[in-house]
Amino acid sequence: MPDDDLLRSVLRELWHLTPTGITGLPRGLMSRAWDVEAGEERYVMRLVPPAARQSVAAGLAAADHLRSRGIAAGEPVRTLTGGLTLELPEGSLTVFRRTPGRPLVGADPVDQQWWGDRLGAVHRALQHFDHPGLRPWNLLDPDAAHLGVESWLRAAVAEAVTATTRLTVTDRLTYGVLHGDPAPEGFVVDPETGRAGLLDCPSGGTGPLVYDVAAAVVYAGGPDASAELIDGYLAAGPVDQDELDAVLPVLVRFRWAVQADWSARSLTGDRAPGCAGEVLRRAREALESDAA
């Protein structure tokens, strides 16, 4: 993972920015991000791992599409050579002008309303958006070697995949462009204007839109802690309450399986993030609780 010295050097040489501060943002499943101060300007740097490189162009195009429809989303800053990304061994690095505002707090009921509203607005605005970089939604592989890192893991992932497969085959679901990792820190609200928006628009490909809601519910602390988030989404998004009520429990469980899969993959890699073990512990608690 790039250290601060490398990031400072890259910003100076490729973007002609002199950072006065670089602060790591909470780690997501799909990327790493840093808040950058350069004089009076604020930026966000996002690093997407090599396996997700094809989604970067789709995410940039999706953010442009959102801005054209009045939804605030970070605007990429081109390098001095005109590129939108810098390819590093660790993945694709992009710099965005930071959307004005403070990050949302997942446990705050008012912030949950903003969060759900913006996620719903993004889903609605991207209903007819298409891009060759959008990846189809893929379920996890229960036979993957890294799931052997703990004895309970493979069976738990297989159960979540089976339930999700049954759901996608038997139910009529609303599909569209997924955010993929809608953590509250990726959304902001500007107290001066009351406008809410996104730091940027990482693309999770295409799939059932309730998966994004499920991911947000997991970040918020579970369904019992997410009433305002869900209300905000239902008021703004294209999914109705009947579908959400029927689908959400299965996809919340699947999201925990995704978290567990990510943790196991990280723990069997060369450099496991410090949070991987804790994420795996929480995923096990959630999956075993649901199974009971």
pTM comes to: 0.93
pLDDT band, very low/low/confident/very high, at 89 (cuts 50, 70, 90): confident
Q: What is the pLDDT of residues 158-170, one digit of tens each?
A: 999 999 999 999 8
Q: What is the pLDDT of residues 126-147, one digit of tens each?
A: 999 999 989 888 889 999 999 9
Residue 269's pLDDT is 79
Residue 91's pLDDT is 86
Residue 112's pLDDT is 97
| Average pLDDT along the chain | 91
Q: Is the pLDDT of residue 8 over 70?
A: yes
Residue 25's pLDDT is 84
pLDDT band, very low/low/confident/very high, at 247 (cuts 50, 70, 90): very high
Residues of the chain above pLDDT 70, percent:
97
CA 263 distance to own-chain centroid: 15
